Chains A and B, each alone.
Chain A
């Protein structure tokens, strides 16, 4: 488990299309009764593929920017 930081879901914008569920390589997201939910949050690597796949801009990953 990396830590508890997870992408933010804006449920008001989400249309439950499932694109992010398909895009997630670790099956972290699922539609539970038409509501997008983190079912395996411990497996999230914050890869942002869910954010990139969302046609509604309903998912966002925010980053701190620094030097390695």
Chain B
């Protein structure tokens, strides 16, 4: 197993070589092709995953079939940590490969065993989960308090500042808890008002101040 691949994982970045050598024995490398399912909600939790390369989408399905994408995660992130701590042991969401994906998987029992044995690893997991919790709180805030127009403006600013791949209107809709037509209408409106510009396969934001005002509901 390549040491450089281990260092790509955020959760391992500040862990000592000695601890890393122990963790390494519990990791197994796997690949998934674009679009394939990595895990299903409500299935028993068997593995924890650490993304080496590619992107995954974490999503929930409503009974009517509508998807809510909770998060799109890239290289270095970890997922399926929460159910490893729960007695019910079931996965909390669906995860699929948004691109070709390479990852490490760690058996759930090995994970809990290593947490007990390695305080350094436990602290790294706690720190990582705290950061993820802040992200989820922000998502709940966005979905519950902001209009679709505000959510789209906020999303565009975040993506322009820290790009995470390319997005279709449908993917944006699933991420933002709305439908594709609505995303299309708002983007056209932004374009008509000169806030954004379409340049072939790029959406370019023209004016940060205006976009921030829209995101805050001040415009």
Contacts and interface: CB of A to CB of B under 8 A. Distances in A.
Contacts of B163: 64-66
Interface string A39-68: 000000111100110000100111111111
B174 to A, nearest CB: 11
B136 interface: no
Interface stretch (B6-14, B45-53, B200-208): B200-208
Contacts of B200: 2-3, 5, 45-46
Contacts, number: 62
B63 to A, nearest CB: 20
Nearest to A62: B166
B44 interface: no
A14 B85 CA distance: 43
The B interface is mostly helix, strand or loop, or mixed, namely mixed
Nearest to B158: A65
Contacts of B208: 67
Contacts of B198: 46-47, 63
Contacts of A64: 163, 166, 201-203
Residue among A5, A45, A60 having the largest count of chain B Cβ atoms under 10 Å = A60
B167 A57 contact: no
Contacts of B202: 63-66
Given A65-B156, A65-B159, A65-B163, A57 B203 contact: no
A46 B201 contact: yes
Contact of A60 (B168, B204, B205): B168
B170 A48 contact: no
Nearest to B205: A67
Contacts of A2: 200
B166 A67 contact: no
Contacts of B180: 57
